[in-house]
Structure formats: structure tokens, C-alpha cells
Structure 1
Amino acid sequence: MTKVTPFLMFEGKAEEAMTLYCETIPESNVLDVTRYGAGEDGPEGTVKLARVSIGGVEVTVFNSPVHHAFTFTPSFSFFVDCSSEEELERIVGVLSKDGSFLMPTGSYGFSRRFAWLNDRFGVSWQINLP
């Protein structure tokens, strides 16, 4: 069976990111984690590869031991439909801390409330109240 899974590659921040996402987005949890062992390229005991469910979507998370000349781009984002304005504000508040807004929280005509932001890891999120 063919399976397509979003893949997020971090440089040393995978565990911090997946913990933040699982604590912030409802119906999210860590499915499994593989850690770097002694003698491997990454620091021993840190996350090497993990599978997380973010709002019910399975995502692969990788901690690259190699520095890359690229990072995340807003051309890929997680789109989150919220059930209430309070939920939207909570999620935006957490994910925007030390991040940056592409579109600050507001009413843009296509939904009641919407925000688009890059979190502190550079991952892009569109938070929506339909």
C-alpha cells in the first residue's frame, strides 16, 4: 500500500517541536520515537526519528545531524480548523511565541478568524475559525 506522510526535518530541535505540537493541538500524540545511540551521527539519546499524530495527521519528524542550507518554507503549512475562538487564540498564542506572523489574527472575509504564522522552529501554521 502506498502511503504519503508529511516529513519535518529539524536540526536538534525535533523533540522540543513535537512536544510543543502535541501539547498544543488537540488530538495529538507521539506514536513512536527512535533515539540516536552511542557512536551514531547525532547526540546519544536525542530523537533521531519519530512519528507523531498532529490533530490526527501522521507526521514523521527527523533530527538531522547535518546542517543544511535550507529550512522550512510557508509554501507548506499545517491548516488547523478550530472549534472556538478561545481555542484559536490559545493555539495562536502558543505557536506564535518567538515566531512571526505572516497574517496576524483577524477577520479576512473567508472565515470568522484566521492567523498564519511561522513558529519558533520555522514551521508554518494557518489557524482558522470557519
Structure 2
Amino acid sequence: MATSVTPHLMFEGDAEEAMNFYTSLFDSAGIIQLERYSAGEQGRQGAVKRAQFSLCGQLFDCIDSPVKHNFGFTPSVSLFVECDNADEQQKLFDTLSEEGKILMPLDYYGFSPRFGWVEDRFGLSWQLNLAGESF
């Protein structure tokens, strides 16, 4: 029987940079564990072999894949963030979309009076909604 389900993020060389970026965005966040590849292992020495971090109580695993892939993240799977207020939402929207792209600008969409969707510079997709406003 399964004991947990944890989102697993696979990067190709920038896992630590992404993890540091994500944990800097939230007050309740931190890096829990970080293991690096050593000389002679399959991955590039010093790259993230396995790491775990937390954002607002949600655990994430991440790695730097030692194998190159013909795929990356897709907006079909995204992180949904309930923001406490419009200022927090705007800050996250601006920071996450910097060097990334805006998929849906912050606006009224019928299902929420203020919602936005961005893809960050690492290719990870984020939906940003005001708390208390639901679909």
C-alpha cells in the first residue's frame, strides 16, 4: 500500500537554482534534503542527485537528470497557488513570469474574479488564484 504521493520535478542541470528560486517565493518554504552526484557517478559531479523541498507544507522531490530527454514540463500539470491577497498574487505573478511566459494574464475569467497562469523560466506552470475565490 502506498504511504505518500510527492510531486517529482526533473531538471537537466538547474534543479538547485529552481529549488532556491521557489523556496525564496514563500514564507513557509525550505530545502529539506540535498544530495549531489559525486565523481564517478552517472550524473555530472555536483549536480542534484536527489533533493526535497517544501512550499507551504507541500513536499516536492527534484533531481538533475543525468539523461537528456526530448520532453520537459507541460502546462497540463501545474502548481495551483491560493494567494491571500492581490498584492501577494501580483508579486508571485511578476516574479514567476520573469524570463518565463504569461499563459493567462491576471484578470477576471468568470470562474474567478482574479486569476493568472504563468510558466516560469524553468518551464514549470503555475496557476495563481485569490484565496476564497473558487471555480
User: Above 0.5 in TM-score?
Assistant: yes
Identify the residue that residue 33 of structure 1 maps to in structure 2. 34
Identify the residue that residue 3 of structure 1 maps to in structure 2. 4
Identify the residue that residue 112 of structure 2 maps to in structure 1. 111
In the alignment, the residues of structure 2 paired with residue 107 and residue 17 of structure 1 have an alpha-carbon distance, to the nearest angstrom, of 29
Q: State whether residues 25 and 91 of structure 1, in contact with CA within 8 Å, keep that contact through their aligned partners in structure 2.
A: no
Shift of 1:18: 0.6
CA offsets 1:90-112 (integer angstroms, 9 cap, x no match): 11111101111111111112223
In the alignment, the residues of structure 2 paired with residue 72 and residue 101 of structure 1 have an alpha-carbon distance, to the nearest angstrom, of 15
1:100 aligned to 2:113? no
Matched residue type, 1:78:
L
Q: How many residues align?
A: 130
Identify the residue that residue 15 of structure 1 maps to in structure 2. 16
Shift of 1:31: 0.8
In the alignment, the residues of structure 2 paired with residue 28 and residue 68 of structure 1 have an alpha-carbon distance, to the nearest angstrom, of 29
Task: State the 4+ residue runs in structure 1 displaced beyond 4 angstroms.
Answer: none
Q: State whether residues 34 and 47 of structure 1, in contact with CA within 8 Å, keep that contact through their aligned partners in structure 2.
A: yes
Shift of 1:79: 0.2
Structure 2 counterpart SS, 1:120: coil
In the alignment, the residues of structure 2 paired with residue 109 and residue 87 of structure 1 have an alpha-carbon distance, to the nearest angstrom, of 21
Structure 1 gap ranges (5+): none
Structure 2 counterpart SS, 1:74: coil
In the alignment, the residues of structure 2 paired with residue 76 and residue 28 of structure 1 have an alpha-carbon distance, to the nearest angstrom, of 21
CA offsets 1:11-37 (integer angstroms, 9 cap, x no match): 001001111100013311111011111
Across the aligned residues of Structure 1 and Structure 2, the Cα RMSD in angstroms comes to 1.2
Structure 2 counterpart SS, 1:75: coil
Shift of 1:86: 0.7
Shift of 1:77: 0.5
User: What is the identity percentage for the equivalent residue pairs of Structure 1 and Structure 2?
Assistant: 48
In the alignment, the residues of structure 1 paired with residue 10 and residue 26 of structure 2 have an alpha-carbon distance, to the nearest angstrom, of 19
Identify the residue that residue 24 of structure 1 maps to in structure 2. 25
Structure 2 gap ranges (5+): none
Matched residue type, 2:69:
H
TM-score, normalised to structure 1's length?
A: 0.94
